[in-house]
Amino acid sequence: MQEGQKHKEFLGQICAFLKKYVQGKGYQIHSEYKIPWSGIKETLWRKADIMIETSTRTFFVEVDINSDPSYSIVKYWPYLEEIFQSYPDARITLIEIWKRGDTRGRGYCELARFIGRRFEEMFRGFSYVLIEISDEMPETIARWVMNIIEK
């Protein structure tokens, strides 16, 4: 099975567990949500792996296995600019689930943390959570995400 297909299945399992956990809570969950970039053709918009809307905050979840977590956070920049200009009191959390791979080491993780801290300074209602995983199962990851959401 190809890496892209494995990732999609892994992500689908996490999303299925999240949907089970949020039943009856009034949360909305979307997978492969297109992140709107004002002034850019929709065909170029990047996708969030998972978006969860609660009554008080929007959560984006990115799952990066052997890929660059700094790419995942940077793709939100145009969206964050527009949202926080239009809605200064917006509350958005990006949860980055990252597994180090053969080609992506600690430096990529630290760069993502650096960018996350800068975004937290730039956008008052933004928070960034980076979780490094090893071989955790999708249900465990979904529980971690729910713990963050329900804090």
Check whether 143 has a pLDDT greater than 90.
yes
Q: Considering the domain boundaries, does residue 9 fall inside one?
A: no
Q: What pLDDT digit, counting tens, does each position of 79-121 carry?
A: 999 999 999 999 999 999 988 766 556 788 889 999 999 999 9
45 is in which domain, residue-wise?
Answer: 28-54+77-136
Give pLDDT, residue 83: 95
Give pLDDT, residue 141: 94
Number of domains present in the structure of the chain: 1
Query: Pairing state of beta strands 28-34 and 47-53?
Result: antiparallel
Q: Considering the domain boundaries, does residue 124 fall inside one?
A: yes
Q: What pLDDT digit, counting tens, does each position of 13-30 carry?
A: 999 999 999 888 999 999
Q: Considering the domain boundaries, does residue 122 fall inside one?
A: yes
Query: Pairing state of beta strands 126-133 and 92-99?
Result: parallel
Q: CB-based burial of residue 124 (10 Å sphere; 0-12 exposed, 13-18 middle, 19+ buried)?
A: exposed
Q: Among 25-34, 65-74, 117-126, where is mean pLDDT lowest? A: 65-74
